[in-house]
Chain A
Amino acid sequence: MEPCDLTFSDARRALDGGKLSSLDLLDSCLSRIGQADPDLSAFLFVADHEALRSEAADADERRARGGGLGPLDGIPVGVKDNISVAGMPLTCGSRILEGYVPPFDATAVARLRGGGAIIVGKTNMDEFAMGSSNEHSAFGPARNPWDPGRVPGGSSGGSAAAVAAGMCPLALGSDTGGSVRQPAGLCGVVGLKPSYGRVSRYGLVAFASSLDQIGALASDVEGAAVMTRTIAGHDPRDSTSLAERVPDYERALLSPPVRLRLGVPRELSSGGASPDVVAAVDAALEVLASLGAEIVEISTPHLGYGVAIYALVANAEASSNLARYDGVGYGARAGGAGDLDALYSGTRSEGFGSEVRRRIMLGTYALSAGYYDEYYLTAERARSLVAADFERAFREVDAVVGPTSPTTAFPLGERLRDPLAMYLADAYTVPANLAGVAAISVPCGLGADGMPVGLQITAPRSGEATMVAVAGAYEREAVRAGVRPRLAGGP
């Protein structure tokens, strides 16, 4: 097997045991990128190979000396192109930021670097994180490694495709309505959205400030847990960042879900998801039951309003956050503008794609005089009911379980004509963002079309350890049973 096809945990043990060098792992990843990325377009930018090899050599030297910066030392990592890496271009999948190079690292990136991770490059995404298919990238869609005629999901489609294709064992994404978990589910990898505030948003380009979180995509639960632990924790530069200590998520992986109660939302199990997705998830729940978990039905009557709430709240916040793209201080600028107003309008109309323009318009409308109460405020109130549903649920159960997405990966082009159909792809993921709780997607088999299905496990705020324990226990069992989908040859 190629080193790049090892799971994170196998690669880490091989590195620690001296059986694999960081240099060999990196070279294997770069070779896979060279071979597969022309078809998949997972990356928008790959760093200079010699510079990366030098970093890998440094990691090998640290290990040889008995030092080493931790479990991420010498591990190649992709970073979604809305997260700042100093010196690497940042486009957010948009023409309006063409040419922009951040002069600083996002806090999450700085922490990865501090742990010795090798930032290989920037991954493709829906423009400004607005999308569920990576088809709204100004630089062309990313494709699903399981079937390049299908979407990888979005908006962190590039990161999910990169990990699924063995281009890197770990990648950073961002999740506002499901943009880490949904592509992870569609690509057969693990995707983790931390509780709101668990990971600093400093250096993440803002889409919806009350919903955004940076999240980990990984080839296994251990990778997601280790990556999350490394990047999480208080940051004085993010005023919404939680002060609580970050627990040892890795240790949580070792505890089996005995006596844990897992809730299945009654209202979501009646229609919406395709039958093969339901079957794969039901089989996963049986596995969890056999491991000692108790599966109970719960009532969460407001989660079904999530997409409607999100359509108003996320886009209202986005209309404010995207007001800064004006051609003045960075990025593209419309030529020939006679006055400042024309500069703004010209730059924004030329620079933003159609989905971004649509969402800015929707958000501006929902906030405008005469409509604010009816739309934005109503949505924010409804949002409180979603949060309350979870609070009530978590008094009865330890975690909520269900499918990550209603369907497996759909063909490119299928939902482009119908924005609403695209938004509904997020029906199961959006509630966790609205409530600020933690959620993870873990692969749980294949659909009737041979495409991956994701099992979503949602935990209370700051309940990442519980979630990781359940996901890890399921994954171990799924691997043993041969159920865990792996694209390339391997376990």
Chain B
Amino acid sequence: MAVTRDEVARVAGLAKLALSDDETEALRQELSRILEYVEKLRELDLAGVDPSSRALAAEGAARDDGVGAMLDRDEALANAPDTDGRHFRVPGFLPEG
């Protein structure tokens, strides 16, 4: 199953990963090889078979929508790379002008 360079670039954009040309090519080959391996799933007759992970979840696990004990602001900011003391601070994301 051959993955193209364009697809690698597209997926990297979705995953917010910046890849060099070498990394793109290496990933292209590795993903192709792995996807070729998973082709074996085509051998299976999956007609009428439901996807499974729903069956694993416990039922009725929602709680009442009430306020409980949470981290205080200082705890929440303690690990942040950059804050203004009240918020996480990040570079702008709106286009200039």
Give per-residue flags for A362-406: 1 if the beta carbon is below 8 A from chain B beta carbons, else 0.
Answer: 101100100000010111111111010000000000000000000
Known contacts A210-B56, A348-B17: A381-B49 contact under CB 8 Å: yes
Residue of B14, B34, B46, B91 with highest tally of chain A CB at under 10 A: B34
Indicate which residue in A344, A364, A368, A384 contacts B52 across the interface (CB closer than 8 Å).
A384
CB distance from A240 to the nearest CB of B (A): 6
Indicate which residue in A342, A368, A377, A420 contacts B91 across the interface (CB closer than 8 Å).
A342
Assess whether A197 is in contact with B30, with CB atoms less than 8 Å apart. no
Q: What's the Cα separation between A378 and B93 when bound, in Å?
A: 37
Assess whether B16 is in contact with A326, with CB atoms less than 8 Å apart. yes
Indicate which residue in B41, B49, B56, B82 contacts A196 across the interface (CB closer than 8 Å).
B56
Interface residue SS majority, chain B: loop
Give per-residue flags for A403-444: 1 if the beta carbon is below 8 A from chain B beta carbons, else 0.
Answer: 000000000000000011001000000000010100000000
Instruction: Tally the A-B contacts, defined by beta carbons under 8 Å.
Output: 161
Q: What's the Cα separation between A150 and B70 when bound, in Å?
A: 44
- Residues from chain A with Cβ under 8 Å of B12 in the complex: 361
Question: Is the CB of A290 closer than 8 A to any CB of chain B?
Answer: no
Question: Is the CB of A99 closer than 8 A to any CB of chain B?
Answer: yes
Question: Is the CB of A312 closer than 8 A to any CB of chain B?
Answer: yes
Question: Is the CB of A50 closer than 8 A to any CB of chain B?
Answer: no
Q: What's the Cα separation between A423 and B78 when bound, in Å?
A: 37
CB distance from A214 to the nearest CB of B (A): 16
Give per-residue flags for B33-46: 1 if the beta carbon is below 8 A from chain A beta carbons, else 0.
Answer: 11101101100101
Residue of B7, B19, B91 with highest tally of chain A CB at under 10 A: B91
Q: What's the Cα separation between A348 and B30 when bound, in Å?
A: 20
Give per-residue flags for A330-367: 1 if the beta carbon is below 8 A from chain B beta carbons, else 0.
Answer: 11110001111111111011001000011011101100
Indicate which residue in A236, A333, A346, A364 contacts B82 across the interface (CB closer than 8 Å).
A333
Residue of B40, B58, B88 with highest tally of chain A CB at under 10 A: B58
- Residues from chain B with Cβ under 8 Å of A240 in the complex: 56-58, 61
- Residues from chain B with Cβ under 8 Å of A104 in the complex: 71
Question: Is the CB of A329 closer than 8 A to any CB of chain B?
Answer: yes
Assess whether B92 is in contact with A340, with CB atoms less than 8 Å apart. yes
Q: What's the Cα separation between A9 and B80 when bound, in Å?
A: 43
Smallest CB gap from A100: residue in B: B79
Assess whether B19 is in contact with A420, with CB atoms less than 8 Å apart. no
Assess whether A346 is in contact with B53, with CB atoms less than 8 Å apart. no
Assess whether B52 is in contact with A383, with CB atoms less than 8 Å apart. yes
Smallest CB gap from B48: residue in A: A381
Smallest CB gap from B82: residue in A: A333
Assess whether A337 is in contact with B56, with CB atoms less than 8 Å apart. no
Known contacts A305-B44, A385-B44: A365-B18 contact under CB 8 Å: no
Number of interface residues of B (CB under 8 A): 50
Assess whether B75 is in contact with A197, with CB atoms less than 8 Å apart. no
Assess whether A236 is in contact with B52, with CB atoms less than 8 Å apart. no
Indicate which residue in B17, B51, B78, B81 contacts A360 across the interface (CB closer than 8 Å).
B17
Q: What's the Cα separation between A30 and B20 when bound, in Å?
A: 44
Question: Is the CB of B90 closer than 8 A to any CB of chain A?
Answer: yes
Assess whether A368 is in contact with B11, with CB atoms less than 8 Å apart. yes
- Residues from chain A with Cβ under 8 Å of B75 in the complex: 103
Known contacts A103-B78, A328-B88, A330-B79: A361-B15 contact under CB 8 Å: yes
For residues 1 through 28 of chain B, which have their beta carbon under 8 Å from a beta carbon of chain A?
A: 3, 7-8, 10-12, 14-19, 23, 27
Assess whether A420 is in contact with B33, with CB atoms less than 8 Å apart. yes
Q: What's the Cα separation between A420 and B37 when bound, in Å?
A: 8
Assess whether B34 is in contact with A362, with CB atoms less than 8 Å apart. yes
- Residues from chain A with Cβ under 8 Å of B80 in the complex: 328-330
Question: Is the CB of A35 closer than 8 A to any CB of chain B?
Answer: no
Indicate which residue in B19, B38, B57 contacts A349 across the interface (CB closer than 8 Å).
B19
Assess whether B31 is in contact with A361, with CB atoms less than 8 Å apart. yes
Indicate which residue in B8, B56, B61, B91 contacts A361 across the interface (CB closer than 8 Å).
B8
Assess whether B37 is in contact with A311, with CB atoms less than 8 Å apart. yes
Assess whether B53 is in contact with A383, with CB atoms less than 8 Å apart. yes
Binding site for A on B (CB under 8 A): 3, 7-8, 10-12, 14-19, 23, 27, 30-31, 33-35, 37-38, 40-41, 44, 46, 49-53, 55-58, 61-63, 71, 75-76, 78-82, 88, 90-93
Binding site for B on A (CB under 8 A): 99-101, 103-104, 196-197, 210, 236, 239-243, 302, 305, 307-309, 311-313, 319, 323, 326-333, 337-346, 348-349, 352, 357-358, 360-362, 364-365, 368, 375, 377-385, 387, 419-420, 423, 434, 436
Give me 12 other A-B pairs in contact (C-beta within 8 A), A307-B37, A313-B53, A419-B30 excluded.
Answer: A239-B58, A241-B58, A305-B40, A311-B34, A326-B16, A340-B92, A348-B15, A361-B15, A381-B52, A383-B53, A387-B55, A420-B37
Name the 3 nearest CB pairs between A and B, nearest first.
A380-B51, A340-B93, A239-B61
Q: Can you offer 12 A-B residue contacts whose CB atoms are under 8 A?
A: A196-B56, A240-B57, A305-B40, A305-B41, A311-B37, A319-B15, A328-B80, A332-B81, A333-B82, A358-B31, A380-B51, A384-B55
